[in-house]
Structure 1
Amino acid sequence: MPKTQFQVDQNAVKKALHAAARTYDNVGMVPKAIADRLLERLDFIRLNPLCVVDVGARTGYATQQLEERYREAIVVGLDFSVAILKAASSKMMVGEYTALPFADRSVDLIFSNLAFQWSSDLQQTLQECHRVLKPGGLLLFSTVGPDTLKELHSSFADGHRHVHPFYDMHDIGDMLTQLRFTDPVMDTERLIVHYSSVPQLIKDLKQLGAQNASQDRLKGLMGKTQWRQMLTNYENCREENGALPATVEVIYGHAFGTESNSFKNANGEEVTVPIDKIIRRN
């Protein structure tokens, strides 16, 4: 299990995405840029998938790119927000990340861009990905790390959680290893997005549906004094060019489905048997 576990209010996530359905594409430049970076990684992986699933498809930008890339494959976009999927033009399904609506070992490629941070149980979500991946199938994803919005987080001085919590790259890598994915690889980069004001940053986050959905977040409206103090503190981050920075720590990861099945011997010890050694008896 990861060293840190976060409780995500799934109803709050769905509510935020529902409200952002009409505005997501207007402010989705950063998610699209990260999706493009993630898609470029497929150029270096030999893969001829028959079934592709885009988990957390949102309005379908990456889903369309995957359709163009793999014209012979069935490509399905999946998200848990009905409202945001209505803005998409590709083939879409409504489903939970923690209970993927696909058969065991039925998917060749699971692609997921900036979605796993909104899962109510990331370990369970990754376990579901492992379940539905074919042996040798690819999981390719991006999410965001704990340095994301660090300027906003540090500007609050009341001890409450105002920024959604994010898993560390190493914790996610440990989960992949524990779930017996093959050859997991993780890396990270930091993007700096510049804003003229904090209210503009908050507005963009709201229009993306990217709001604090942790179970231990402070409920209710923020007081005027608290808000003004946060604005004053954030001003200390203003750069020489007059812009306010907002850090996005992007985590990229990929791993492959297990090539072998696991069994237990007479002593209760776990053993592995390669798939090609399992013979069906008539």
Structure 2
Amino acid sequence: MELVDARVARMRQQRLLRRGDRGQDPLSAAVAPRHWESLGGLALPPGPVLDVGCGAGPPPPQAPGPVLRLDWLAGFAAPPDVLGDAARLPCRDGAFSLVLATNVLPWLGDPRPFFGEARRVLRDGGALSCTSLGPDTLAELRALGPFAGPKTMGFFDMHDLADMAQAAGLAEPVASCERLRFAYSSHGAMLRDLSGFGVLAAAGMDRSLGTPRRLAALLRRPEPVELTFEVVYLHAWAMPARPARGPAHWQEITLDRGRPPAR
């Protein structure tokens, strides 16, 4: 199941990079310090950190070791150290103690390959820490008449993300969420910010915004508007694989049915 149109997501990322504001949107600016603060409660092993989708943001101050910054676009003022795709990380197995991904999942067509790659590049005992957007994001769009409907929603529930992480071999996932509200002076200002959040890459999102005429009418609406973003925080661990247990590990137990039970 893909809730994001990966082709549209890449087109929007390239457009934002040409505008020079990718990685500087208010949502990323608000979520990044909250994400880093959540790392303070984790017993992170020392070692290298992979910052996936680093964009133009700074490295986390709580990093337990040197940070390798990875993104798939190179045109930032502070370019990433490595170019690569979150679904095909160009890194060797077991290279990192921490994989960090802030607001990367909302840009992905399917988070499962990323979870599998994160497990592959993590050493045993390492951690994945990432953020995403939950299904309550943009709930206010349901009240905008022609812009309403399920097509405006395109994000996985935190429980689904935890299940995906476990299916990829990551253990003990812990998911939590909070709701951030953003106020805009007009609907036009709201839509300009939405184009930088990745949410317009959600499957069907463009269609849900209606015809160009309806969209133009929305842009002309001068009244202020507020939007809710449900931010999901997910932490999971790369635990050593348990060895398969076969007949050599079986223990024989003999039951003596002829003797009465002891009193």
Same structural fold, with TM-score higher than 0.5 when normalized by the shorter chain: yes
Corresponding residue SS for 1:24: coil
Percent of pairs with identical residues: 27
Distance 1:202 1:9 in 2: 18
Query: Is the radius of gyration larger for structure 1 or structure 2?
Result: 2
Partner residue of 1:47 out of 44, 53, 62: 44
Q: Please report how far the alpha carbon of residue 170 of structure 1 lies from its aligned counterpart in structure 2 after TM superposition.
A: 1.2
Correspondence 1:97 to 2:94? no
Partner residue of 1:213 out of 190, 195, 201: 201
CA contact (8 A) 1:117 1:144 kept: yes
Q: Please report how far the alpha carbon of residue 172 of structure 1 lies from its aligned counterpart in structure 2 after TM superposition.
A: 0.7
Partner residue of 2:126 out of 125, 131, 137: 137
Corresponding residue SS for 1:140: strand
Quick one: which amino acid aligns to residue 10 of structure 1?
A
Quick one: which amino acid aligns to residue 201 of structure 2?
A
CA contact (8 A) 2:106 2:198 kept: no
Distance 2:9 2:129 in 1: 22
CA contact (8 A) 1:14 1:80 kept: no
Correspondence 1:128 to 2:120? no
Corresponding residue SS for 1:139: strand
Correspondence 1:256 to 2:237? yes
Q: Which residue of 2 aligns with 1:270?
A: none
Distance 2:119 2:127 in 1: 9
TM-score (norm 1): 0.76
Matches within 5 A, 1:259-278: 259-263=240-244, 265=246
Q: Which residue of 1 aligns with 2:30?
A: 33
Q: Deviations over 1:182-207 (max 9, x none)?
A: 2110011101100111110111222x
Distance 1:50 1:140 in 2: 15
Q: Please report how far the alpha carbon of residue 105 of structure 1 lies from its aligned counterpart in structure 2 after TM superposition.
A: 1.5
Correspondence 1:80 to 2:76? no
CA contact (8 A) 2:188 2:218 kept: no
> Residues 185 and 78 from structure 1, CA distance in 2 versus in 1: closer, same or farther, beyond 3 angstroms?
same
CA contact (8 A) 1:56 1:79 kept: yes
CA contact (8 A) 1:114 1:142 kept: yes
Corresponding residue SS for 1:104: coil
CA contact (8 A) 2:147 2:208 kept: no
TM-score (norm 2): 0.81
CA contact (8 A) 1:100 1:128 kept: yes
CA contact (8 A) 2:4 2:109 kept: yes
Distance 1:46 1:170 in 2: 23
> Residues 162 and 19 from structure 1, CA distance in 2 versus in 1: closer, same or farther, beyond 3 angstroms?
farther
Q: RMSD between aligned alpha carbons?
A: 3.0
Show structure 1 runs of 5+ residues with no match. Answer: 236-241, 268-282
Quick one: which amino acid aligns to residue 72 of structure 2?
F
Show structure 2 runs of 5+ residues with no match. Answer: 249-263
> Residues 134 and 74 from structure 1, CA distance in 2 versus in 1: closer, same or farther, beyond 3 angstroms?
same
Partner residue of 1:14 out of 10, 16, 20: 10
Stretch deviating more after TM superposition (124-133 or 8-17): 8-17
Distance 1:135 1:32 in 2: 31
CA contact (8 A) 2:177 2:233 kept: yes
Tell me the number of residue pairs that the alignment of Structure 1 and Structure 2 aligns.
Answer: 246
Q: Please report how far the alpha carbon of residue 218 of structure 1 lies from its aligned counterpart in structure 2 after TM superposition.
A: 4.6
Q: Which residue of 2 aligns with 1:173?
A: 162
Q: Deviations over 1:99-129 (max 9, x none)?
A: 1111112210011111112112211111111
